[in-house]
Amino acid sequence: MLTDSHHRTIRYVRLSVTDRCNLRCSYCMPEHMHFMEREALLSYEEILRSMQLLHTAGVDKLRITGGEPFLRKNLLQLLASLAPMFDISITTNGVLTADYVPALKALGIRKINLSLDTLQAERFAQITRRNQFSAVMHTLDTLLLHNMDVKINMVVMDGVNTDELHQFAALTANNNVSVRFIEEMPFNGQEKGFSGIQWHYQKILAILGEQHDLHKIPDAPGSTSLNYSIAGHLGHIGVIPAYSRTFCGSCNRLRITATGGIKTCLYGCDVMNIRDGMRNGLSDEALLSALQDAVWQKKKDGFAAAALNRPMLRESMSLIGG
Protein backbone atom coordinates (compact mmCIF):
# COMPACT_ATOMS: atom_id res chain seq x y z
CA MET A 1 0.00 0.00 0.00
CA LEU A 2 1.11 3.57 -0.69
CA THR A 3 0.67 5.57 2.49
CA ASP A 4 1.62 9.09 3.53
CA SER A 5 2.87 10.50 6.82
CA HIS A 6 -0.68 11.62 7.70
CA HIS A 7 -1.97 8.02 7.67
CA ARG A 8 -3.78 8.30 4.34
CA THR A 9 -3.67 5.36 1.92
CA ILE A 10 -3.66 5.95 -1.84
CA ARG A 11 -6.41 3.95 -3.55
CA TYR A 12 -7.31 6.24 -6.46
CA VAL A 13 -5.36 7.63 -9.41
CA ARG A 14 -6.40 10.25 -11.95
CA LEU A 15 -4.58 9.66 -15.22
CA SER A 16 -4.42 12.23 -18.01
CA VAL A 17 -3.98 10.47 -21.34
CA THR A 18 -3.57 13.68 -23.35
CA ASP A 19 -3.22 17.41 -22.82
CA ARG A 20 -5.10 18.13 -26.05
CA CYS A 21 -8.66 19.39 -26.05
CA ASN A 22 -11.24 20.31 -28.69
CA LEU A 23 -12.67 23.12 -26.52
CA ARG A 24 -10.95 26.23 -25.18
CA CYS A 25 -12.80 26.86 -21.92
CA SER A 26 -11.78 30.27 -20.61
CA TYR A 27 -11.14 29.02 -17.06
CA CYS A 28 -8.95 26.16 -18.29
CA MET A 29 -6.65 27.33 -21.07
CA PRO A 30 -5.83 30.25 -23.35
CA GLU A 31 -7.34 30.53 -26.82
CA HIS A 32 -4.02 29.70 -28.50
CA MET A 33 -2.73 26.69 -26.59
CA HIS A 34 0.65 25.05 -27.17
CA PHE A 35 0.24 21.31 -26.77
CA MET A 36 2.98 18.79 -26.02
CA GLU A 37 4.68 16.78 -28.76
CA ARG A 38 3.53 13.16 -28.98
CA GLU A 39 6.93 11.86 -27.87
CA ALA A 40 6.60 13.75 -24.59
CA LEU A 41 3.40 11.92 -23.67
CA LEU A 42 3.27 8.63 -21.87
CA SER A 43 2.98 5.85 -24.43
CA TYR A 44 0.28 3.24 -23.93
CA GLU A 45 2.96 0.74 -22.97
CA GLU A 46 4.23 3.15 -20.33
CA ILE A 47 0.71 3.79 -19.09
CA LEU A 48 0.05 0.08 -18.72
CA ARG A 49 3.29 -0.49 -16.85
CA SER A 50 2.57 2.45 -14.53
CA MET A 51 -0.97 1.25 -13.86
CA GLN A 52 0.16 -2.33 -13.23
CA LEU A 53 2.62 -1.02 -10.63
CA LEU A 54 -0.07 1.04 -8.92
CA HIS A 55 -2.46 -1.90 -9.02
CA THR A 56 0.06 -4.08 -7.20
CA ALA A 57 0.42 -1.27 -4.63
CA GLY A 58 -3.30 -1.39 -3.80
CA VAL A 59 -4.74 1.26 -6.11
CA ASP A 60 -8.09 0.01 -7.36
CA LYS A 61 -9.86 3.11 -8.69
CA LEU A 62 -8.83 4.86 -11.91
CA ARG A 63 -10.20 8.01 -13.51
CA ILE A 64 -9.25 8.71 -17.12
CA THR A 65 -8.98 12.42 -17.89
CA GLY A 66 -7.37 14.84 -20.34
CA GLY A 67 -7.44 17.38 -21.89
CA GLU A 68 -10.20 15.49 -23.65
CA PRO A 69 -9.43 11.76 -23.37
CA PHE A 70 -11.36 10.75 -26.49
CA LEU A 71 -8.88 12.71 -28.60
CA ARG A 72 -6.27 10.05 -27.81
CA LYS A 73 -6.20 7.49 -30.61
CA ASN A 74 -7.17 3.91 -29.73
CA LEU A 75 -8.38 4.87 -26.27
CA LEU A 76 -10.83 1.95 -26.16
CA GLN A 77 -7.96 -0.48 -26.66
CA LEU A 78 -6.19 1.02 -23.65
CA LEU A 79 -9.36 0.92 -21.57
CA ALA A 80 -9.88 -2.75 -22.42
CA SER A 81 -6.41 -3.51 -21.02
CA LEU A 82 -7.03 -1.49 -17.84
CA ALA A 83 -10.59 -2.62 -17.10
CA PRO A 84 -9.64 -5.93 -15.43
CA MET A 85 -7.47 -4.08 -12.89
CA PHE A 86 -9.54 -1.03 -11.94
CA ASP A 87 -12.93 0.45 -11.29
CA ILE A 88 -12.70 2.94 -14.16
CA SER A 89 -14.46 6.26 -14.57
CA ILE A 90 -13.97 8.89 -17.26
CA THR A 91 -14.15 12.67 -17.30
CA THR A 92 -15.07 14.09 -20.71
CA ASN A 93 -16.34 17.29 -22.30
CA GLY A 94 -18.81 15.23 -24.32
CA VAL A 95 -18.00 16.55 -27.79
CA LEU A 96 -16.94 13.14 -29.15
CA THR A 97 -18.24 10.80 -26.47
CA ALA A 98 -21.69 9.75 -27.69
CA ASP A 99 -20.43 7.25 -30.29
CA TYR A 100 -18.30 5.47 -27.68
CA VAL A 101 -21.02 4.92 -25.07
CA PRO A 102 -22.08 1.40 -26.16
CA ALA A 103 -18.45 0.21 -26.26
CA LEU A 104 -17.75 1.71 -22.82
CA LYS A 105 -20.79 -0.04 -21.41
CA ALA A 106 -19.63 -3.34 -22.93
CA LEU A 107 -16.30 -2.91 -21.10
CA GLY A 108 -18.15 -2.40 -17.83
CA ILE A 109 -17.29 1.32 -17.70
CA ARG A 110 -20.43 3.16 -16.66
CA LYS A 111 -19.16 6.09 -14.55
CA ILE A 112 -18.94 9.20 -16.70
CA ASN A 113 -18.34 12.75 -15.51
CA LEU A 114 -19.58 15.22 -18.10
CA SER A 115 -18.14 18.74 -17.92
CA LEU A 116 -20.94 21.18 -18.70
CA ASP A 117 -20.98 24.76 -17.44
CA THR A 118 -24.10 26.16 -19.08
CA LEU A 119 -27.41 25.01 -20.55
CA GLN A 120 -27.46 27.88 -23.04
CA ALA A 121 -25.98 27.38 -26.51
CA GLU A 122 -24.79 30.95 -26.95
CA ARG A 123 -23.18 31.05 -23.51
CA PHE A 124 -21.57 27.67 -24.17
CA ALA A 125 -19.86 29.15 -27.23
CA GLN A 126 -18.66 32.11 -25.17
CA ILE A 127 -17.23 29.92 -22.39
CA THR A 128 -15.66 27.24 -24.59
CA ARG A 129 -14.87 29.39 -27.67
CA ARG A 130 -16.37 26.57 -29.76
CA ASN A 131 -19.86 25.82 -31.15
CA GLN A 132 -20.27 22.27 -29.83
CA PHE A 133 -23.27 22.63 -27.52
CA SER A 134 -25.53 20.32 -29.54
CA ALA A 135 -22.86 17.58 -29.59
CA VAL A 136 -22.46 17.73 -25.81
CA MET A 137 -26.21 17.62 -25.20
CA HIS A 138 -26.44 14.65 -27.58
CA THR A 139 -23.84 12.89 -25.45
CA LEU A 140 -25.84 13.62 -22.30
CA ASP A 141 -28.98 12.18 -23.89
CA THR A 142 -27.05 9.11 -25.06
CA LEU A 143 -25.56 8.51 -21.61
CA LEU A 144 -29.01 8.69 -20.02
CA LEU A 145 -30.48 6.40 -22.69
CA HIS A 146 -27.88 3.76 -21.85
CA ASN A 147 -28.41 4.12 -18.09
CA MET A 148 -24.86 5.22 -17.47
CA ASP A 149 -23.81 6.55 -14.05
CA VAL A 150 -23.64 10.24 -14.96
CA LYS A 151 -22.23 13.14 -13.00
CA ILE A 152 -22.49 16.61 -14.51
CA ASN A 153 -19.68 18.91 -13.40
CA MET A 154 -20.46 22.64 -13.48
CA VAL A 155 -17.72 25.12 -12.61
CA VAL A 156 -19.45 28.06 -10.90
CA MET A 157 -18.00 31.30 -12.29
CA ASP A 158 -18.85 34.71 -10.92
CA GLY A 159 -20.63 36.85 -13.49
CA VAL A 160 -20.72 34.01 -16.02
CA ASN A 161 -23.17 31.24 -15.12
CA THR A 162 -24.34 31.74 -11.53
CA ASP A 163 -27.84 32.53 -12.80
CA GLU A 164 -28.16 28.90 -13.94
CA LEU A 165 -27.72 27.13 -10.60
CA HIS A 166 -31.41 26.32 -10.25
CA GLN A 167 -31.71 25.14 -13.86
CA PHE A 168 -28.85 22.70 -13.31
CA ALA A 169 -30.42 21.44 -10.09
CA ALA A 170 -33.67 20.92 -12.00
CA LEU A 171 -31.90 18.37 -14.23
CA THR A 172 -32.07 15.97 -11.28
CA ALA A 173 -35.87 16.13 -11.07
CA ASN A 174 -36.57 13.40 -13.63
CA ASN A 175 -33.08 12.10 -14.37
CA ASN A 176 -30.99 9.80 -12.20
CA VAL A 177 -27.94 12.06 -12.42
CA SER A 178 -25.71 13.87 -9.98
CA VAL A 179 -25.06 17.55 -10.66
CA ARG A 180 -21.91 18.80 -8.91
CA PHE A 181 -21.24 22.50 -8.51
CA ILE A 182 -17.49 23.14 -8.40
CA GLU A 183 -15.74 26.13 -6.88
CA GLU A 184 -13.62 27.91 -9.46
CA MET A 185 -9.88 27.34 -9.06
CA PRO A 186 -6.80 29.39 -10.04
CA PHE A 187 -5.61 26.83 -12.60
CA ASN A 188 -7.07 28.74 -15.50
CA GLY A 189 -4.14 29.23 -17.84
CA GLN A 190 -5.87 32.31 -19.17
CA GLU A 191 -4.77 35.82 -19.86
CA LYS A 192 -7.06 37.42 -17.28
CA GLY A 193 -6.47 36.81 -13.60
CA PHE A 194 -8.40 34.38 -11.44
CA SER A 195 -11.70 35.96 -10.41
CA GLY A 196 -11.32 34.82 -6.82
CA ILE A 197 -13.60 32.74 -4.67
CA GLN A 198 -16.74 34.84 -4.91
CA TRP A 199 -18.89 31.71 -5.05
CA HIS A 200 -17.69 29.34 -2.34
CA TYR A 201 -19.54 26.11 -1.61
CA GLN A 202 -21.51 27.56 1.30
CA LYS A 203 -22.88 30.37 -0.88
CA ILE A 204 -23.75 27.91 -3.63
CA LEU A 205 -25.69 25.76 -1.17
CA ALA A 206 -27.44 28.79 0.28
CA ILE A 207 -28.63 29.91 -3.16
CA LEU A 208 -29.80 26.40 -4.08
CA GLY A 209 -31.62 26.12 -0.76
CA GLU A 210 -33.74 29.13 -1.63
CA GLN A 211 -35.72 27.10 -4.17
CA HIS A 212 -34.95 23.48 -3.35
CA ASP A 213 -35.48 21.38 -0.23
CA LEU A 214 -31.96 19.99 0.33
CA HIS A 215 -31.22 16.97 2.53
CA LYS A 216 -27.64 15.89 3.34
CA ILE A 217 -26.84 12.35 2.24
CA PRO A 218 -23.74 10.26 3.08
CA ASP A 219 -20.55 10.96 1.15
CA ALA A 220 -18.46 8.08 -0.16
CA PRO A 221 -15.09 7.50 1.57
CA GLY A 222 -12.51 9.91 0.13
CA SER A 223 -15.22 11.90 -1.67
CA THR A 224 -14.38 15.44 -2.78
CA SER A 225 -18.05 16.39 -2.89
CA LEU A 226 -20.65 17.17 -0.25
CA ASN A 227 -23.83 15.51 -1.48
CA TYR A 228 -27.50 16.31 -1.08
CA SER A 229 -30.83 14.97 -2.22
CA ILE A 230 -33.65 17.28 -3.26
CA ALA A 231 -37.13 16.39 -2.07
CA GLY A 232 -39.07 14.77 -4.92
CA HIS A 233 -36.07 14.54 -7.28
CA LEU A 234 -34.79 11.31 -8.82
CA GLY A 235 -31.15 12.44 -8.88
CA HIS A 236 -29.09 14.45 -6.42
CA ILE A 237 -26.63 17.33 -6.25
CA GLY A 238 -23.19 17.90 -4.79
CA VAL A 239 -20.82 20.77 -4.15
CA ILE A 240 -17.07 20.39 -4.55
CA PRO A 241 -15.04 22.80 -2.38
CA ALA A 242 -12.14 22.71 -4.81
CA TYR A 243 -10.80 26.09 -3.72
CA SER A 244 -11.85 25.88 -0.07
CA ARG A 245 -10.16 22.45 0.17
CA THR A 246 -12.27 21.05 3.00
CA PHE A 247 -11.76 17.42 1.89
CA CYS A 248 -7.97 17.17 2.16
CA GLY A 249 -8.01 15.17 5.38
CA SER A 250 -9.43 12.11 3.60
CA CYS A 251 -7.57 12.51 0.30
CA ASN A 252 -6.71 9.09 -1.15
CA ARG A 253 -5.55 10.04 -4.64
CA LEU A 254 -2.66 10.68 -6.97
CA ARG A 255 -2.60 12.49 -10.29
CA ILE A 256 -0.48 11.48 -13.25
CA THR A 257 -0.13 14.08 -15.97
CA ALA A 258 -0.03 13.21 -19.66
CA THR A 259 3.76 13.58 -19.58
CA GLY A 260 4.21 11.32 -16.56
CA GLY A 261 4.39 13.89 -13.78
CA ILE A 262 3.19 12.59 -10.42
CA LYS A 263 1.18 15.00 -8.30
CA THR A 264 0.25 14.07 -4.76
CA CYS A 265 -1.92 17.19 -4.61
CA LEU A 266 -3.80 19.18 -7.24
CA TYR A 267 -2.27 22.37 -5.83
CA GLY A 268 1.25 20.96 -5.62
CA CYS A 269 4.09 20.62 -8.08
CA ASP A 270 5.18 17.34 -9.69
CA VAL A 271 7.00 15.25 -7.09
CA MET A 272 8.53 12.83 -9.60
CA ASN A 273 8.18 11.81 -13.23
CA ILE A 274 7.37 8.16 -13.83
CA ARG A 275 7.86 8.51 -17.60
CA ASP A 276 11.45 9.62 -17.10
CA GLY A 277 12.04 6.84 -14.59
CA MET A 278 10.89 4.19 -17.05
CA ARG A 279 12.81 5.69 -19.95
CA ASN A 280 15.93 5.81 -17.79
CA GLY A 281 15.68 2.10 -17.15
CA LEU A 282 14.46 1.99 -13.55
CA SER A 283 13.15 -1.38 -12.39
CA ASP A 284 9.61 -1.86 -11.11
CA GLU A 285 10.97 -2.12 -7.59
CA ALA A 286 12.84 1.17 -7.93
CA LEU A 287 9.78 2.92 -9.36
CA LEU A 288 7.57 1.67 -6.54
CA SER A 289 10.13 2.78 -3.97
CA ALA A 290 10.25 6.25 -5.52
CA LEU A 291 6.45 6.41 -5.54
CA GLN A 292 6.27 5.47 -1.89
CA ASP A 293 8.86 8.10 -0.98
CA ALA A 294 6.89 10.73 -2.91
CA VAL A 295 3.60 9.73 -1.32
CA TRP A 296 5.13 9.74 2.16
CA GLN A 297 5.97 13.43 1.69
CA LYS A 298 2.40 14.33 0.61
CA LYS A 299 1.42 17.59 2.30
CA LYS A 300 -1.30 17.75 4.92
CA ASP A 301 -3.59 19.81 2.70
CA GLY A 302 -3.84 21.86 -0.47
CA PHE A 303 -2.87 25.07 1.28
CA ALA A 304 0.48 23.65 2.36
CA ALA A 305 1.07 22.26 -1.14
CA ALA A 306 0.15 25.57 -2.79
CA ALA A 307 2.55 27.48 -0.57
CA LEU A 308 5.41 25.60 -2.24
CA ASN A 309 3.98 25.90 -5.74
CA ARG A 310 2.94 29.53 -6.19
CA PRO A 311 4.68 30.07 -9.57
CA MET A 312 2.69 27.20 -11.08
CA LEU A 313 -0.81 28.11 -9.93
CA ARG A 314 -1.62 29.67 -13.29
CA GLU A 315 -0.90 26.53 -15.32
CA SER A 316 -3.63 25.12 -17.52
CA MET A 317 -5.90 22.42 -16.11
CA SER A 318 -5.42 20.55 -19.38
CA LEU A 319 -1.77 20.08 -18.40
CA ILE A 320 -2.65 19.00 -14.86
CA GLY A 321 -5.26 16.48 -15.90
CA GLY A 322 -8.89 17.48 -15.58
Element (H, E) at 204: helix 201-209
**Residue-by-residue pLDDT tens, the chain, 322 positions:** 999 999 999 999 999 999 999 998 887 777 777 788 889 999 999 999 999 999 999 999 999 999 999 999 999 999 999 999 999 999 999 999 999 999 999 999 999 999 999 999 999 999 999 999 999 999 999 999 999 999 999 999 998 999 999 999 999 999 999 999 999 887 655 445 555 578 999 999 999 999 999 999 999 888 889 999 999 999 999 999 888 877 787 899 999 999 999 999 888 889 999 999 999 999 999 999 999 999 999 887 777 777 776 655 555 566 666 5
Calculate ∠ Cα 33-34-37, nearest 5°. 140
The domain that holds 252 is classified in CATH as 3.20.20.70
Q: How far is CA 13 from the centre of its chain?
A: 10
CB-CB contact of 304 with 66 (8 Å): no
Report the C-alpha gap between 256 and 247 in whole angstroms: 20
The DSSP result for 128-167, as a single string, is HSS--HHHHHHHHHHHHHTT-EEEEEEEE-TTTTGGGHHH
Predicted pLDDT of residue 315 = 58
pLDDT in tens, 39-79: 999 999 999 999 999 999 999 999 999 999 999 999 999 99
Range of the domain at 170: 2-320
Report the C-alpha gap between 127 and 114 in whole angstroms: 15
Predicted pLDDT of residue 322 = 58
What is the CB neighbour count within 10 angstroms for residue 233? 21
- Based on the structure, what is the number of domains in the chain? 1
* pTM of model > 0.85: yes
Predicted pLDDT of residue 314 = 54
Q: How far is CA 291 from the centre of its chain?
A: 21
pLDDT in tens, 105-121: 999 999 999 999 999 99
